[in-house]
Amino acid sequence: MIYDKPDMDYRNLKAAACLADADAKVGREINADAADLSAFKAAGGKLIQYHGWSDSAILPVSSIKYYTEAAAKLGGEKNVTPFYRLFMAPGMEHCGIGPGANAIGGVFGLPAPKRDPGHDVASERKWRAVSSDKP
């Protein structure tokens, strides 16, 4: 993908040089670390992000750091919340699973272990309890 050489001898590669080459070739397209969301906001974009507090693959604080940086670039949180929300999920591991609410129909569309508000954040009972005063 980076070198376009299927017969390349990987044993001679150096990790730091490969990372630099990868960033130079495809970094702009695949890196998700640009915190300036002004063009996204101007285009009418809406972003809902979630991250599990029990994620061992990607540190949960990285999402908080990104959100904070995006807010700073746009002049504060009041300018970000109309189009970008970050939800931290207690007990959720990487993209789902875990002892807490973790089935939200995300990338992998993980089903809830039980159809109940304790595990399925899309559960009708949980949604009504959070979004309405009606029983």
Question: Which structural domain range is residue 11 located in?
Answer: 1-31
Indicate the number of domains in the chain: 2
**Residues 114, 52: one domain?**
yes
Long-range contacts of 71-77 (CB under 8 A, 24+ apart): 72/35, 73/35, 73/36, 73/37, 73/38, 74/37, 74/38, 74/41
**Residues 113, 52: one domain?**
yes
**pLDDT: which is higher, 103 or 58:** 58
The model carries a pTM of 0.66
**pLDDT, tens digit, for every residue of 92-129?**
888 777 887 777 765 555 555 555 556 566 555 444 44
**pLDDT, tens digit, for every residue of 74-98?**
999 999 999 999 989 888 888 777 8
**Residues 39, 23: one domain?**
no
